[in-house]
Homo-oligomer: A and B are copies of this chain.
Amino acid sequence: METKIQELARQAKQSSYQLATLSTEVKNDVLNSLRKNLINHSENLLVANKKDLNYAKDQDQSSAFIDRLTLNHDRIIAMADALTTIIELEDPNQRILESQTISNGLILEKTSTPLGVIAMIYESRPNVTIDAAALCFKSGNAVILKGGKEAIHSNRALHRVIVEALKEHSLSEVCVQFIDHTERAATHALLQQVDFIDVVIPRGGKNLIKAITEQSQLPVIKHLDGICHIYIDQAADMDMAEQIIINAKCQRPGVCNAMETLLIHQDIAKKVLPRFVEMLKEQGVRLKGCEQSCKIISNLEQASEEDWSTEYLDLILSIKIVKNTNAAIHHINYYGSGHSDSIVTEDKGCAEQFLQQVDSAAVYHNASTRFTDGEVFGKGAEIGISTDKLHARGPVGLKELTSYKYLIRGTGQIRD
């Protein structure tokens, strides 16, 4: 197994040099073929997906799981549409990021380049196969895809469509590699290929990401959980606060930029908490309060220490009353996941303090945390939202899939 994975990674590295110099036009042509082929092969894809679905049902998987795994005509069209978006995006390579002429006449250009080879390790959503392949390809990177075993038939069929598109344009199929093994040993072997893989991007639950980070000898761009906070300051506009709270918690509770903990300034808690509780209960939200909240609201379920670092991804919310903005910031930096946090206040000083001191990828003033995504942030499409601080933070789009190098043009300069 290890030899096989190594060979596959070596081939990917080899192909990455060719990919790095491919013109934007050729890349878009390939993506366009892929878009057409997806539609043309819909029936095959649905047949393959059916096998995965049958197996999942035999295994008594949850309906949410089966929903994530399911392909249908609409979803295939959505994958094709995502490709149209990626085709329209600017090529992130060959951008001149800095340029200077050194006193001895050397001309130095810092230019964006692909990263090289990206390993994508993900779970049951088959659309990630197409999205990841397309984003890596458009950014000039070779990619090695390792999907979840539950989606192996779907992913294999999708990969065949990708290979067909590559071949139509005389490109080697090793540009987009697919690991057709479901054993964990395959993932482990992949994570040791320091000579051939430049970065691994895991997508999925916290356990997957933790396991990969622990095993990996490769750099990882992590997408951990989104424990997002809204802090309602004493100087908040309460109508605005209510709208933001409902939006951040209820509009789509299963996503990483939804609120998990509500923080409230102690001086307004008595007044506003009953109103918030009523409003959230009306929306079907289960509430868990700190000790002080439970004193204000009788019958409120008490939050445990663990709640403050729990990503519910559900209609559940923890509520904590804090002394002031400092305490809110401290709570967020201590318990949060560095994803998205927001302050609601009319006090500009407090707002600026919060914006500067909260150590998260996206920090908001008077807005819902739900805006953190690649499309809103002008990236067009994203491969995920990084909770790391190195290289890419927040939405990871095409630009974040590039590195850079320095090109230095001289006329015979030597160093004194």
Which residues of A pack against B, CB within 8 Å?
17, 20-21, 100, 102, 106, 108, 113, 115-116, 194, 198-199, 213-214, 217, 219-221, 237, 240, 243-244, 246-248, 251, 329, 333, 351, 355-357, 359-368, 370-372, 376-378, 388-391, 393-394, 403-415
List B contacts of A394 (CB < 8 A): 405-406
Given A20-B356, A414-B247, A403 contacting B377 (CB threshold 8 A): no
Report B-chain residues with C-beta under 8 Å of the C-beta of A106: 367, 371
**Interfacial chain B residues near A406, Cβ < 8 Å:** 361-363, 372, 377, 394
- Bound CA span A21–B359, Å: 11
Chain B residues with CB under 8 A of A390: 115, 198-199, 219, 221, 390-391, 403
Are A370 and B116 in touch, CB under 8 angstroms? Answer: no
**Bound CA–CA A1/B26 (angstroms):** 57
Given A219-B390, A367-B410, 13 new contacts (CB under 8 A): A17-B357, A102-B376, A116-B389, A214-B217, A246-B414, A367-B408, A368-B413, A368-B414, A370-B415, A371-B415, A377-B406, A389-B403, A390-B390
State the majority secondary structure of interface residues on A: mixed
> Does A391 lie within 8 Å of B393, measured CB to CB?
no
B412 touches A363 (CB 8 A): no
Residues in chain B near residue A389, CB distance under 8 A: 115-116, 198-199, 403
Bound Cα distance from A372 to B248, whole angstroms: 48
Whether A237 contacts B413 in the complex (CB less than 8 A), given A362-B405, A389-B116, A405-B360, comes out as no
Quick check: A413 and B371 within 8 Å, CB to CB? yes
Known contacts A391-B390, A403-B389; A412 and B376 CB within 8 A of each other: no
B237 contacts A363, CB within 8 Å?
A: no
A344 CB, min distance to chain B CBs, angstroms: 8
Query: Chain B nearest CB: distance from A200 CB in Å?
Result: 11
Given A371-B106, A403-B389, A406-B394, check contact A219 B219 (CB 8 Å): yes
- How far, in angstroms, from A198 to B388 measured CA to CA in the complex? 8
